[in-house]
Amino acid sequence: GITLQRDLPTIQQVEQRIFELENRLPEIKKVINEANDTTQKAGAIVSKAQAALPEVERLTADGAQMTQQLNTFLTKSDQVLKTAEPTINETLHRVQQRALGVQELKNQLMEKDIAPAEVSAAAEQLKVQLTKQIADTGEVLTLLTDLNALSQQEVLSPVINDVKDVNTLLQQQLSDVNSLQQQTQNGDAPNQSVLDRFSSRTDQAVSRLNTLTNSYSSTIVPAVEQAIKEAKDKTASANSLLEEANKSMPDVSNVLSKTASGILLGQQELAKITKDFPRIEQNVHNIADKIREFQRKENIEDIINLLKNDVQKESDFFAKPVLLKEERLYPIPNYGSAMSPFYTTLCLWVGALLLVSILSVEVADEERFKSYEVYLGRLLTFLSIALVQAFIVTLGDLFLIKTYVVDKVPFIFLGLLCSFVFMTIVYTLVAIFGNAGKAMAIVLLVLQLSAAGGTFPIQVVPAFFQAINPFLPFTYAISMMREVVGGMLADIVRKDVTVLLCIWLGVLFVGIFLHKPLSKTSAKLTKKARESKLIH
């Protein structure tokens, strides 16, 4: 138990991990499947790489040779470009001069009194000049674009954008000139808005060309030289990388071979995992189900507490939960003596029943006597016999069956009192109700057997019997007889005797004063019963 308690966090953590593993089994299965697919693809890629390796070796060798040739070419091109720099400058100046000529023609077109024929002639000259300018700027733009592509930082991009803008303006000017020429050929005066737009674009082109020619030496030439230098550096770097790659080809071949072997091994292991995974998955589910079942039915904390206890002490406790120290205040040596109060009381009631069954309660020539005289006279006869019965019973308890009794003389007298009261009750019932009274006496006997607490404590019998217990003569007769058998407490005996005497007085009162009216009613019932030939 102590070991389990110490390891409880680990056990709980293992349970948590098993549940987590169970939840992630679908994800694991998906990963295994993806790994299978990936290794298949990787194997195919490595196979292709191995097949292409000879071609790669040839290409790297050729590439190294090519970069050397390219470097030589760029070195020569550098000289050529340096030689061509004046030509580029001259081309830009030529375009600039033509732009100024275009500007002069533009000024002529802007005159108000110019004839349509003169406009058409000027437009024809402008088309020639603009076409040449567009061609020249196009050549410069192509050359700068190619150089810029060789530059890692694209240093010629600003210059290229400026040349593009100039070329675009020239093309727009040519479009405006075409519009003007078409208008004059129709005999119309040139459109002023077109003239204004052409004039604005011409001025912009001249301004842009002036900027380009003025910044040629300070901007364009250094940018061109930097582009050539970066191209040469790239070529040298590429040549170095290709030479290094060419030297590394054996290592690449070795790596690819090992990779292929590793992928093959991985495929074999993944095949084993894929084959075993359903069994592993089922085992994990079984373990998780057992843990859940255990948690549902048992509590490990309770098990730990149980195991930590001393089993022998627990067993001794459950075997003897309470150590009783008995002190017998009113000891009765045997069970028979302890039950004698109940059976003696029962004997006296049964004796009274036998008397009313054997002897008649009726009197011959009853008309000569008063009702209470008949009742009391016959009662004295029954009481005399009942007292003799009680005397024989109590003496028989003491001297024949040797019943244990502490207070013997009170036992005899209280027995006489019980018989006196019982005989009065039974006689009165029969004297008033006839044979029906005998049945009442028997029913009363049965009720008292269960409700008087003679055999079991009254607290353990049903509620009905507990309710009628205080009203039964047996309750008090058994109580006072127990007192004299085990050792008398005077207060209890006095209370019981008092209650019995009160019951006797009440029954006597009923017998004296109600005997006549009740007996007339019961006489009719008795007569009917006798006429039935079933009841005597």
Helix axes 490-531, 371-395, angle to 10 degrees: 120
Per-residue pLDDT, 391: 96
In 3D space, the residue among 487, 482, 491, 330 whose CA is nearest the CA of residue 415 turns out to be 482
- 113 or 263, which is more confident? 263
pLDDT digits (tens, 9 = 90+) for 66-92: 566 556 655 655 555 555 566 666 666
Region of residue 533 (phi > 0: left; psi between -120 and 50: alpha; otherwise: beta): left
Q: Extract the tokens encoding 332.
A: 């009765």
- Measured CA to CA, the distance from residue 492 to residue 504 in angstroms comes to 18
pLDDT digits (tens, 9 = 90+) for 32-42: 888 878 888 77
Q: Extract the tokens encoding 320.
A: 């003897």
Sign of CA dihedral 449, 452, 456, 458: positive
pLDDT digits (tens, 9 = 90+) for 149-194: 766 566 677 777 878 787 788 788 778 777 766 766 666 666 667 7
On the question of pLDDT at 397 being above 60, the answer is yes
Residue 255 — very low, low, confident or very high, per pLDDT cuts 50/70/90? low
In 3D space, the residue among 131, 95, 86 whose CA is nearest the CA of residue 206 turns out to be 95
Output the average pLDDT for the chain: 78
- Measured CA to CA, the distance from residue 386 to residue 416 in angstroms comes to 8
Per-residue buried b or exposed e for 153-169, using 16+ beta carbons within 10 Å of the residue's own CB: eebbeebbebbeebbeb
- Measured CA to CA, the distance from residue 189 to residue 118 in angstroms comes to 11
- Measured CA to CA, the distance from residue 122 to residue 331 in angstroms comes to 157
- 466 or 255, which is more confident? 466
Three-state SS annotation for 430-469: HHHHCHHHHHHHHHHHHHHHHHCCCCCCHHHCCHHHHHHH
Which residues 6+ apart lie within 8 Å of 522 measured at CB?
432, 433, 434, 436, 437
In 3D space, the residue among 485, 119, 58 whose CA is nearest the CA of residue 242 turns out to be 58
Mean pLDDT, to the nearest integer, of 414-441? 91
Mean pLDDT, to the nearest integer, of 55-65? 63
Which residues 6+ apart lie within 8 Å of 376 measured at CB?
512
* φ, ψ of residue 402 in degrees (nearest 5): 60, 45
- H or E, element range at 60: helix 2-109
Per-residue pLDDT, 43: 72
Per-residue pLDDT, 536: 54
HSE-up of 394 (CA within 13 Å, CB side)? 24
On the question of pLDDT at 408 being above 80, the answer is yes
Mean pLDDT, to the nearest integer, of 414-421? 96
Per-residue pLDDT, 474: 94
Across 20-137, the runs of DSSP E, i.e. the strands, are none
- Measured CA to CA, the distance from residue 103 to residue 202 in angstroms comes to 6
In percent, the amount of the chain with pLDDT more than 90 equals 23
Per-residue pLDDT, 106: 64
Per-residue buried b or exposed e for 7-22, using 16+ beta carbons within 10 Å of the residue's own CB: eeeeeeeebeeeeeeb
- 422 or 126, which is more confident? 422
Per-residue pLDDT, 527: 65
In percent, the amount of the chain with pLDDT more than 70 equals 68
Per-residue pLDDT, 35: 80
Per-residue pLDDT, 409: 95
pLDDT digits (tens, 9 = 90+) for 280-338: 888 888 888 887 877 777 777 777 776 766 667 777 777 777 777 888 778 888 999 99
- 148 or 480, which is more confident? 480
Count of positions (residues) in the chain: 536
pLDDT digits (tens, 9 = 90+) for 190-248: 666 776 777 777 777 777 777 777 766 666 667 666 666 666 666 666 556 656 656 66
Helices (H), 298-334: 300-308, 311-319
- Measured CA to CA, the distance from residue 238 to residue 111 in angstroms comes to 62
- Measured CA to CA, the distance from residue 268 to residue 36 in angstroms comes to 10
Per-residue pLDDT, 51: 76
> What Cα–Cα distance (Å) separates residue 531 from each residue in 357, 433, 435, 525, 526?
20, 17, 14, 10, 9
Residue 266 — very low, low, confident or very high, per pLDDT cuts 50/70/90? confident
pTM, entire model: 0.42
pLDDT digits (tens, 9 = 90+) for 3-29: 777 777 887 777 788 878 888 888 888
Q: Which segment of 248-262, 268-282, 483-497, 507-521 scores lowest on mean pLDDT?
A: 248-262
Per-residue pLDDT, 129: 75
- Measured CA to CA, the distance from residue 323 to residue 306 in angstroms comes to 23
Mean pLDDT, to the nearest integer, of 418-436? 91
- Measured CA to CA, the distance from residue 280 to residue 305 in angstroms comes to 34
* SS3 label, residue 114: coil
Give the largest CA-CA distance in the chain.
185
> What Cα–Cα distance (Å) separates residue 534 from each residue in 148, 222, 526?
144, 153, 11
